[in-house]
A and B are shown apart, each in its own frame.
Chain A
Amino acid sequence: MSEEQSQWLRILPSALAEGQGERAFAAIVRSREELSRWLRNPAPGLQWLQIEGLLGDSDAWIEAAHGDSGVPLDVVLADPASEFSDLYRLVDVCSVRSVRVTIRVAPGFSKAAKLAAALRLPIRLLPSQPTAEVLAELNELLEIYLHEPMVEAPVEFFHSLLATMSGAETGSLWSILEEDPAEFRSYDADGRALLPRSGVFGSAETSFEGFVEHHLESLVDRGAECATCPWQRFCSGYFKWPDPTYSCEGVKRLFSRVKAAADEIGRDLAGRVEAKTSAPNLTGSDSL
């Protein structure tokens, strides 16, 4: 498939995004000037702005709180443990446009996730290959996501995982987290396509379109735990990248908790349906 015919969405540094015209793309902005430029004059193909390193700049958000263009924002927290309280700067912004918070999962990330949830902001967690410390935080956050009524907006990947466990078709974790290069392709400043989470450029040998399938096949061929993993279809080796030797034990326990919650919900809902259908009909033809 040629670049012109491609269906994937390009995620490009701001300067490279100029001239994309109507082709679907997201622009990465890292300065107040870049943010202002895209808010004032968005190209037709612009899907959203991926904002990096600007959360602490209060002036940057003043223009974003004006709803002239309505361009959605994806605000990335690279260091969530130290940046989390700056999420309050987005309060005005999210009243005029869609704002999502992307949180790179690292120690202390749950502070940002809790505050973003309290501000009713949709969250995308990028878990990469979580350490034991971070897995503990993920479990704590999952508990909040599942049971606290204060969490109203979706927390990905929990939300789609729960949907999958409840029988919905959501696609793979790569796709949900917008890291499948067949659908979302990131480029560096020189226009070279990058493999996800690796900083490695795609090569002729690497098929971006079949990256996820190839990765999973390779893991299974090598005898990785994916071969027998019950969550293989949803995960597709997400947690075995870039290090294929990463142990998924903690992740699998997390998935099992979501599965248990989904099963419990399913049982309760089925019980309700059953109770409803077996209830006596007090208003129908019996009364004739």
Chain B
Amino acid sequence: MSGRVFSVILLPTSECNVACDYCFERKEPHRLSSALLPLLTRRLLDHLENERIEECEIYWQGGEAMIMGPSWFADAGAVMDRAAAQRGRRFVHYLQTNLISYSAAWNDVIREMFNGSLGTSMDYPNLHRKLFKGGAEGYTELWTRRLREAKAAGIQVGVIAVLHQGSLEAGPDRFYRYFTEELGLSDFQVNTPFPGGPAKEVEGGFQLDLTELAQFLVKLFNIWITRGYKSGVSLGPFDALIDHFTGKQARLPCIWKENCSNQFISVDSKGTVAQCDCWVTSYPDYFFGNIFREPDLTRMLKTSRARRDFVERPKRLVEDEDCLSCRYLSICHGGCPVRTYSALGTMMAKDPYCEVYKAVFACAEAHGREILRRDQQGRAPAQSDVGLAQSYAKAR
């Protein structure tokens, strides 16, 4: 059995209970049928068997996943886990939700199926996440209440924040204090926005000045290093970058993987298979197939013409772009295909956030070097230890 892990971003519904400005998903009133779940599970397990993979991570998203209700999840988890155990495999479940429908009724399933944790999203300031009635202000108020209820119930909550112009104007200090002091979070991450999905009038408003964005992220990185790094605050993706630059095993985000096509797929409630949730909800030309109609997921992934572009993309980038000469190639590999496609109409180019990433990487490298230098003080490496000597030379 290999040590590889395969991940599936599973969208049990495309429905959503809120109306965020920048959402790129097609919201359809469609839900994954309990009757089809065993078939979906069988197809995934067949694929794991074909690929000799023992563990599959299921990232439950939407639409809004909580629309399915806690008992649906409890049943779905039991069906999937039982089938996996019978075949010597294992599913590990994660939940990403907007929290709006959270109540105490979810606590048992969150503890049992999701290991007592969930992921949610909030921006600062919140201008674009909106309730159908109540707008952004109502959303913030309700979401904050739900967050406190979940935390009071002992649930570990990680938050994703998408940056927008208002975040840049508020500045990194207020941004950081909002999440750590006002919300009391010790685990959050920042994402860059991208204009996914069919063209919308509002998209232009989410394009940020790259220099301003880079400056914001670097300052935020510095603030986190000063106030949060040693105090148990996890701020992604900075924490993973610090792990990388201090020689630890790092779990970098999917946008910087060697090749995301090797590691995950997304499946929607109708069985559509695509690279990730962004593709499955937005770009029909890049669907790989349908997991219910095609009996062999492994074969689908191997033969899909649409998937070939994802597989070939990193190769093309080192041939055609300047990625090969970039000193950060090992932690970027040209960045995110969907960010590239949604901005440029092709994925065969490097991520438009290239310069922003480089600024963040350089900042992480400098902090990593400083952390290593401090850690190495008082430790004298053996003269003959070339690996250590080499590391030392690079840390200088």
Contact = CB atoms under 8 A, between A and B. Distances in A.
A168 B382 CA distance: 10
A96 interface: yes
Interface stretch (B20-28, B218-226, B388-396): B388-396
A120 B330 CA distance: 8
A163 B262 contact: no
Contact of B384 (A67, A115, A168): A168
Contacts of B319: 85
Determine which residue in B330, B386, B389, B393 has the highest number of CB atoms from chain A within 10 A of its CB, and name it. B386
Interface stretch (B93-101, B106-114, B264-272, B321-329): B321-329
A170 to B, nearest CB: 9
A119 B330 contact: yes
B393 A146 contact: yes
A117 B384 contact: no
Interface in B286-335: 302, 311, 314-316, 318-319, 324-325, 327-331, 333
Given A66-B52, A118-B329, A265-B392, A91 B262 contact: yes
A145 B387 CA distance: 12
Contacts, number: 109
Interface residues of B, number: 42
A92 B262 contact: yes
Interface residues of A, number: 47
B380 A273 contact: yes
B365 interface: yes
B275 interface: no
B396 A268 contact: yes
A147 B393 contact: yes
A114 B333 CA distance: 12
14 contacts: A65-B2, A66-B52, A67-B3, A88-B314, A114-B325, A146-B390, A146-B393, A150-B327, A159-B386, A168-B384, A168-B386, A264-B393, A268-B396, A269-B389
Given A66-B51, A95-B2, A115-B324, 4 more contacts: A85-B315, A88-B314, A150-B327, A269-B392
Interface of B: 1-4, 51-52, 245, 258-259, 262, 302, 311, 314-316, 318-319, 324-325, 327-331, 333, 365, 368-369, 378, 380-381, 383-384, 386-387, 389-390, 392-396
